[in-house]
Amino acid sequence: MEIILALSIGALAGSGVWLMLRSRTYQVLIGLSLLSYAVNLFIFSMGRVRTGAPPILKPGVPETLANYTDPVPQALVLTAIVITFAMTALFLVVLLAARGLARNDHVDGRES
């Protein structure tokens, strides 16, 4: 399981970085989204791979890490997901405005 998760984080991050280095604004937008999946999963993976132990307290079960997974990475990622959405929205609108203004979709606003 760890191997699969690590590989997927690597694939998402690699694809994201590749796209971020491209010259078209839309590629960068998509690349940032991919990279944020990777980063979110990376932070999430810091809580280790655990199945069937959501951090939702059940009566009678002692509140220890033996019974529940680590809630801290989850809390961090939850905010990150929402902020990612905000970032995507802002970038998208800037992208559209730049496309209208510059008459091309190069990240520098002009074809080099």
Partner 1 sequence: MISNESLLLVAIAIPFLGSLIAGLLPTNARNLEAWLAGGIALIEVGIFSFLYPYIVDGQVVRAEWAWVPAAGLSFVLRLDGFAWVFALLINGIGGLVFLYARYYMSPEDPVPRFFSFLLAFLGAMLGIVLSGNLIQMVFFWELTSFFSFLLIGYWQHDSGARAGARLALAVTAAGGLCLFGGVLLLGHIIGSYDLDKVLRAGNLIRNHPLYLPTLILILIGALSKSAQFPFQFWLPRAMSAPTPVSAYLHSATMVKAGIFILVRFWPVLGGTDYWLWIVAPAGLITFVLGAYLAMFQNDLKGVLAYSTISHLGLTTLLLGMDSPLALVAAIFHLMNHATFKASLFMAAGIIDHETGTRDIRKLSGLYRYMPVTATLAMVAAAAMAGVPLLNGFLSKEMFFAETIETHDGSLLDDALPYFATIAAMFSVAYSLRFIRDVFFGPPPTELTRTPHEPPHWMRFPVEILVVVCLVVGIVPNYTIAPFLNVAVAAVLGSAAPKFDLAIWHGFNVPFFMSLVALAGGVGVYAMLKSFGFTGLSVPWLSRGDQAPSDRIGSTARALMRVIATRRLQPQLRTAICVAFLVGLLPLAGRNLLPETMELTRIDVAFAVVWFIGIVCALATAYQAKFHRLAALILLSGAGFATCITFIYLSAPDLALTQLLVEIVTMVLILLGLRWLPKRDERLLETDSSMLMRRYVDLTIALVVGAGLALLSFAVMVRPQPDNGIAQYFLAQAYPEGGGKNVVNVILVDFRGFDTLGEITVLCIVAISVFALLRRFRPAPESIAAPEQKRIQEAFDVDHPDRRPGETIDDYLLVPSVVMRLLFPVIGTLGIFLFLRGHDQPGGGFAAGLTLAVAIILQYMAGGAVWVEDRIRVFPLRWMAVGFVFALAAGCSAWIVGYPFLTSMMGDVHLPLIGDVHLSTVILFDLGVLAIVLGATVLELIALAHQSIRTHRKPKPAAVEGAA
Q: Which of residues 15-74 bind partner 1 (CB under 8 A)?
A: 15-24, 26-27, 29-31, 33-34, 37-38, 40-42, 44-58, 63-65, 68-72, 74
Contact between 101 and partner 1 by CB under 8 A: the answer reads: yes
- Smallest gap, in angstroms, from Cβ of residue 88 to partner 1? 6
- Smallest gap, in angstroms, from Cβ of residue 2 to partner 1? 4
- Smallest gap, in angstroms, from Cβ of residue 110 to partner 1? 10
Q: Are 85 and 37 in contact (CB under 8 A)?
A: no
DSSP 67: T
- Tokens matching residue 32: 């940032």
Q: How many Å apart are CA 19 and CA 13, to the nearest integer? A: 10
DSSP 24: B
